[in-house]
Amino acid sequence: MEGDWINRPHMQIIKSQLFQNFPEIIFGFSTKIGMKRTLPFYFNLSLTVGDDPDIVNENRKAFYNELGLMTEQIAIQKQIHSDIITIVEKPGLIGESDALITSKPNIGLAVSTADCVPIFVYDRANKIIAGIHSGWRGTQKRILQKTLSALAEKFNSKPENLFIYIGPSISQNKYEVGEEVASQFNGKYSKEVNGKIFLDVMRVNLDMIYDFGIPKNKIEVSPLCSFEEKELLHSYRRDGKLSGRSLGVIAMKEI
């Protein structure tokens, strides 16, 4: 079941039921619905899709404020479908990276998506958070596994202390790929229908979480497919160059 929603007249935000167990955690995932924005980009939070930068910055500010954060508190990476992991010491523009980790309170880690798998991690014992962007390329490079390993090696994170939310992404039924992509993954993650190959990128990431030893009751997976939820979620595979982007943001309060 999907987490609770923040549903204001001007904005709809997806929440995580898992993270709501922790008053020190701030989390929200934006949707297409906000500020009464309309086509082609709707409530878009990306500066790289051709939307008006002034509108995007206004959208971002409104979204952050709804979570109780300010623009000046957000760390944003330039996502390049890599396995680059950045330890964040201060907010702002991070540079090229696809995973962010911080032990600092009052810094929001932002992950931008429009079909790729967004993953958010909280180490309850050590008070560490992480945000990961994992499309098929990042998944093939095992960025999530590498981020979990970095948490263990650099912050002494234990599997039993980690809580993970996997946000909305494209479902296998809607993610057609070529053989050149499918062949880079174990065959169990692909299915063939009428001569077409469909890849389950989310399941590859979920198995990395299981393999790391994280208990199933500490994992929440959004059931929402970005492609299918046309009225709610951005999807590059569905809308192409006219697709906006969602942002998922996780932060820790000082308690």
- Domain of 10, CATH number, reads 3.60.140.10
Helices (H), ranges, the chain:
53-67, 136-140, 143-155, 179-182, 201-211, 236-239
Residue 140 lies in a domain: yes
Which residue reads 């039993």 in tokens?
Answer: 160
At 243, the pLDDT band (50, 70, 90 cuts) reads: very high
Structural domain of 64: 5-171+201-252
Residue 48 lies in a domain: yes
Q: Give the pLDDT confidence score for residue 1 in this predicted structure.
A: 38
- Average pLDDT over every residue of 10-33: 97
Residue 219 lies in a domain: yes
- Average pLDDT over every residue of 14-28: 98
Q: Give the pLDDT confidence score for residue 4 in this predicted structure.
A: 59
At 245, the pLDDT band (50, 70, 90 cuts) reads: very high
Residue 185 lies in a domain: no
Q: Is residue 255 scored above 80 in pLDDT? A: no
Going by the DSSP 8-state scheme, the letter that residue 62 receives in this structure is H
Per cent of the chain over pLDDT 90 is 95
CA atoms within 13 A on the CB side of 127: 11
With vertex at residue 198, the alpha carbon angle to CA 45 and CA 232, rounded to the nearest 5 degrees, is 30
State pLDDT tens for residues 188-214: 999 999 999 999 999 999 999 999 999
What are the backbone dihedrals phi and psi of residue 118, each rounded to the nearest 5 degrees, phi first?
-95, 130
The total number of structural domains in the chain stands at: 1
- Average pLDDT over every residue of 149-172: 98
Q: Give the pLDDT confidence score for residue 2 in this predicted structure.
A: 52
The SS3 call for residue 52 is: coil
At 17, the pLDDT band (50, 70, 90 cuts) reads: very high
Residue 182 lies in a domain: no
- Average pLDDT over every residue of 131-157: 98
- Average pLDDT over every residue of 159-178: 98
At 8, the pLDDT band (50, 70, 90 cuts) reads: low
Residue 127 lies in a domain: yes
**Can you read off the two tokens belonging to residue 67?**
């979570």
Residue 28 lies in a domain: yes
**Which residues neighbour 139 within 8 Å (Cβ) at sequence distance 6 or greater?**
117, 185, 201, 204, 205
- Average pLDDT over every residue of 44-52: 97
Going by the DSSP 8-state scheme, the letter that residue 201 receives in this structure is H
Residue 239 lies in a domain: yes
- If you count DSSP H runs as helices and E runs as strands, how many of each does the chain have, helices first? 6, 16
- Are 181 and 150 within 8 A, CB to CB? no
